[in-house]
Chain A
């Protein structure tokens, strides 16, 4: 049974364009299309990267046409593996000369279809550039190439007492994380990529190599010129290819305490979060799981948490400051009728306590076997959290949708893990409409349609609504200035 997505999209309103790129289509994208890259150009690529640095194999191209999102595979025409920024620049010059689209590729773990080659072209797989360069322990900074992942860097740094705390779910490329302005569970204390990228080396669409803060510069603050570094952070490959990132490091926490507390209502849990933050407790992680999610986790990980809204907390600091932080947080949860506040200090017990949160994705999938999962990603000011979560849960119930909630409530960011049957067109439609309502709800509360996953392919219409036509005009002007031919990852973000 094939479900003809094309017919339905033509009837969709501008809002529903959020799902326009064919998420659960049973129709497989054909890879036998004519290659848009002339063979002379492919030979020129080989001259730059060496013969094993270019591939047009079907399997290789398919692997580079999809990420971990629900968007269907859109393979490029050619995949290249440059080994240095000079090679990236030479390849970009060739692509620019022949008007070929360029798509940077890190670990392929994005969640918004950012690597899909909608117009074919050349995928730049940057994994061969995998060195950790220039580590300055006393200055708390390090420079990395795109092939270095976040766990790879932290493993490298482990003896120095420093770490890079931004931790999205996947073991992603750090330069890729810069490109998507990624964030993790401890953004509430350590910030996201926006706050932690000090300098970038970028190759523009015509091959020009730029250092956004100046070559080799790595100061904790600067007032020099336009903030180009943060222009490229979150640009999702549409303005240039990031080939080096200079990152801000932090001291590994001296001691860590983890805690779990359940509440009788969502309101109580979120109120506790707001109050913990307002008290100035430097909480490192504060994660929310709703009752549906906790139930799923209990079943999947064989735990026995009370099935009600739950907060998972983590505190970092010296032994003494932890005592203060934990006791104050416990007081707050008790004041909000929190049940049993359980906490632990040693590594093994802490891992057990947090196991539910770590397995959340798989637990959600396990609720309904043979279904797929899609994660929503909105963010609102913290004070609006109780309202949006309560309204969202009502929406889910009214529309008979399975959407356990897990969220970084400390940032006002939460995810509904929508579990749905991709072969049921009615459910797909209801999920799509729900997601759009959720995004609109967030925007109406001074929020954003994407807290950490990025705009990618599916949220371009929402971005337009979020920033408004005038601001959109400015963004389009920047894009036109840096990439007049629209070769850099076309069809994404704008």
Chain B
């Protein structure tokens, strides 16, 4: 067991930004908009760093797929304590079509290449809300998975994962190597402090192309349109019950 943790981090529009749909309905406005690390990815990085600090893991590698700007996101992960980074270069049309299936193929290839014992990702990204990457990665690797983790502890040669499910909490024990997806209550991520940001500038970020990993990026999905939800209409006040009944009939509700 190598004791290497691979953490996936995604660069998304900052959660505090008001999203606007592009007039041509092909997507949302991203130019000039503040981006930051997906909040669930922050939790994943924090958990990985804590495992290394407890000396249960030896090295934390932060991975991000996308254009040049993703390196900023990797740097944040390095400032939080990751040891090195891997930037998988994807840009243009390929980046627009990048989805969980493509990312999970990349993560699986990297997990094998780096001989990782553990892959941790956020349970979902706040832009796609797909909640698929972790699960697909585990399937491609044929590794066990502990998803929606609210607590992770090492148990012999495996992990004990407390999962947040609809009915409450579920405890599972999975053998390593494994995939874990981080849920909200797993931990409170640390802030990147100035000294750590300075140190992070010296840590290495390797660049690779998906082709180098033998991953093919074509998407089977085509986005037809992105639209605003319908505007809320104002209500109508009526004077009497008779009016109400008439209006309900006219609108076809009755």
Binding site for B on A (CB under 8 A): 152, 155-156, 158-163, 251-254, 318, 347-348
A-B contact pairs, 15 of them (CB 8 A): A156-B16, A156-B34, A158-B192, A159-B37, A159-B79, A160-B192, A160-B197, A161-B79, A161-B194, A251-B194, A254-B195, A254-B196, A318-B195, A347-B188, A348-B188
B188–A152 CB distance below 8 A = no
> In the assembled complex, how far is the CB of residue B107 from the closest CB belonging to chain A, in whole angstroms?
23
B191–A158 CB distance below 8 A = yes
Q: Report Cα–Cα, A97/B6, bound state, in Å.
A: 66
B36 beta carbon closer than 8 Å to chain A:
yes
B145 beta carbon closer than 8 Å to chain A:
no
A154 nearest in chain B by CB position: B191
A159–B196 CB distance below 8 A = no
Residues of A within 8 A of B218 (CB): none
Task: Find the residue from A152, A160, A163 having the highest chain B CB count within 10 A.
Answer: A160
B133 beta carbon closer than 8 Å to chain A:
no
Q: Report Cα–Cα, A347/B187, bound state, in Å.
A: 9
Number of interface residues of B (CB under 8 A): 16
8 A Cβ contacts from B181-208 to A: 188, 190-197
B76 nearest in chain A by CB position: A159
Mask, B36-58, CB within 8 Å of A = 1, is 11000000000000000000000
B188–A252 CB distance below 8 A = no
Number of A-B residue pairs having CB atoms within 8 Å of each other in the complex: 38
A254–B188 CB distance below 8 A = no
Residues of A within 8 A of B76 (CB): 159
A254–B193 CB distance below 8 A = yes
8 A Cβ contacts from B80-126 to A: none
Residues of B within 8 A of A158 (CB): 36, 191-192
Q: Report Cα–Cα, A253/B196, bound state, in Å.
A: 11
> In the assembled complex, how far is the CB of residue B4 from the closest CB belonging to chain A, in whole angstroms?
25
A252–B16 CB distance below 8 A = no
8 A Cβ contacts from B152-178 to A: none
Contact of B193 among A155, A156, A253, A348 (CB under 8 A): A253
B193–A251 CB distance below 8 A = yes
B34–A252 CB distance below 8 A = no
Q: Report Cα–Cα, A21/B44, bound state, in Å.
A: 53
Q: Report Cα–Cα, A251/B79, bound state, in Å.
A: 14
B196–A155 CB distance below 8 A = no
B15 nearest in chain A by CB position: A155
Residues of A within 8 A of B195 (CB): 254, 318
Q: Report Cα–Cα, A353/B159, bound state, in Å.
A: 30
Q: Report Cα–Cα, A159/B34, bound state, in Å.
A: 12
Q: Report Cα–Cα, A347/B46, bound state, in Å.
A: 12
A252–B194 CB distance below 8 A = yes
Residues of B within 8 A of A160 (CB): 192, 197
Residues of A within 8 A of B191 (CB): 158, 161, 163, 252
Given contacts A252-B193, A252-B194, A254-B193, contact A155 B16 (CB under 8 A): yes
Residues of A within 8 A of B194 (CB): 161-162, 251-252
> In the assembled complex, how far is the CB of residue A59 from the closest CB belonging to chain B, in whole angstroms?
15
B197–A161 CB distance below 8 A = yes
Task: Find the residue from A158, A162, A347 having the highest chain B CB count within 10 A.
Answer: A158
Q: Report Cα–Cα, A160/B191, bound state, in Å.
A: 9
> In the assembled complex, how far is the CB of residue B153 from the closest CB belonging to chain A, in whole angstroms?
15
Mask, B1-38, CB within 8 Å of A = 1, is 00000000000001010000000000000000010110
Task: Find the residue from B34, B193, B196 having the highest chain A CB count within 10 A.
Answer: B193
B193–A159 CB distance below 8 A = no
Known contacts A161-B192, A161-B194; 18 further A-B pairs (Cβ under 8 A): A152-B16, A155-B16, A156-B14, A158-B36, A158-B191, A158-B192, A159-B37, A159-B76, A159-B192, A161-B79, A161-B193, A161-B196, A163-B191, A251-B193, A253-B193, A254-B195, A254-B196, A348-B188
Q: Report Cα–Cα, A152/B14, bound state, in Å.
A: 12
